[in-house]
Amino acid sequence: MGAKIVTGEAGYVLEDVPHLSDYIPDLPTYPNPLQDNPAYSVVKQYFVDDDDTITQKIVVHKNTPRGVHFRRAGPRQKVYFESDEVHACIVTCGGLCPGLNTVIREIVCGLNYMYGVKRVLGIDGGYRGFYAKNTISLTPKSVNDIHKRGGTILGTSRGGHDTSKIVDSIQDRGINQVYIIGGDGTQRGASVIFEEVKRRGLKVAVAGIPKTIDNDIPIIDKSFGFDTAVEEAQRAINAAHVESESFENCIGLVKLMGRYSGFIAMYATLASRDVDCCLIPESPFYLEGPGGLFEYIEKRLKENGHMVIVVAEGAGQELLSESIHSMTKEDASGNKLLKDVGLWISQQIKDHFAKKNKMTINLKYIDPTYMIRAIPSNASDNVYSTLLAQSAVHGAMAGYTGFTVGLVNGRQSYIPFYKITEKMNKVVITDRMWARLLSSTNQPSFLSVKDVIEDKKDEEPPQQQVLDEESCLDDNLVNKENSFI
Ligand SMILES: Nc1ncnc2c1ncn2[C@@H]1O[C@H](COP(=O)(O)OP(=O)(O)OP(=O)(O)O)[C@@H](O)[C@H]1O
Ligand SMILES: O=P(O)(O)OC[C@H]1O[C@](O)(CO)[C@@H](O)[C@@H]1O
Ligand SMILES: [Mg+2]
Both 116 and 253 in a single domain? no
Three-state secondary structure call for residue 62: coil
What is the reported pLDDT for 477?
A: 35
Number of domains in the chain: 2
User: What CA–CA distance (Å, rounded) separates 461 from 458?
Assistant: 7
203 is a domain residue: yes
Distances (CA, A) of 90 to 52, 61, 108, 115, 386: 28, 42, 9, 16, 15
- Do 209 and 291 fall into the same domain? no
Residue 101 counted as domain residue: yes
Closest alpha carbon to 72 in 294, 382, 398: 398
Looking at the structure, tell me whether residues 142 and 286 fall in a common domain: no
Last residue of a domain, one of 313, 341, 372: 372
Catalytic residue among 214, 216, 274, 431: 214
Residues 194 and 331 in one domain: no
Q: Are residues 202 and 76 in the same domain?
A: yes
Instruction: Answer yes or no: is 450 within a domain.
Output: no
Q: Are residue 141 and residue 157 in the same domain, yes or no?
A: yes
Kindly state the average pLDDT of the residues 385-413.
98
Give the residue numbers spanning the domain of 259. 226-372
Judge if 396 and 309 occupy the same domain. Answer: no
Whether residues 286 and 318 share a domain: the answer is yes
Residues 6+ apart with CB under 8 A from 210: 182, 183, 187, 217, 220, 223, 404, 405, 406, 420
Residue 447 domain flag: no
- Does residue 72 lie within any of the structural domains? yes
| 66 in any annotated domain | yes
C-alpha 44: how far from its chain's center?
33
pTM of the predicted structure, to 2 decimals: 0.93
Mutate which of 196, 206, 313, 333 for ligand 1? The one with the most ligand atoms within 8 Å of its CB, which is 333
Please tell me whether 159 is known to bind a ligand.
yes
Domain at 115, CATH number: 3.40.50.450
112-157 tens-digit pLDDT: 999 999 999 999 999 999 999 999 999 999 999 999 999 999 999 9
Confirm if 260 and 215 have CB atoms less than 8 A apart: no
Same domain, yes or no: 215 and 230: no
Residue 340 lies in a domain: yes
User: Domain for residue 362, yes or no?
Assistant: yes
Give yes or no: residues 111 and 249 share one domain.
no
pLDDT per residue as tens digits for the range 75-123: 999 999 999 999 999 999 999 999 999 999 999 999 999 999 999 999 9
- Tell me: the pLDDT tens digits for 348-385? 999 999 987 677 899 999 999 999 999 999 999 999 99
Best of 91, 157, 186, 216 for a ligand 1 pocket test (most atoms within 8 Å of beta carbon): 186
Nearest-ligand number for the alpha carbon of 92: 1
**Are both 23 and 75 inside the same structural domain?**
yes
DSSP, collapsed to helix, strand or coil, labels residue 101 as helix
| CATH number assigned to the domain comprising residue 355 | 3.40.50.460
* Residues 245 and 149 placed together within one structural domain of the fold: no
- From the CA of 333, the nearest ligand is 1
Out of 372, 389, 410, a domain closes at 372
- Our answer to whether residue 474 is catalytic in this structure is no
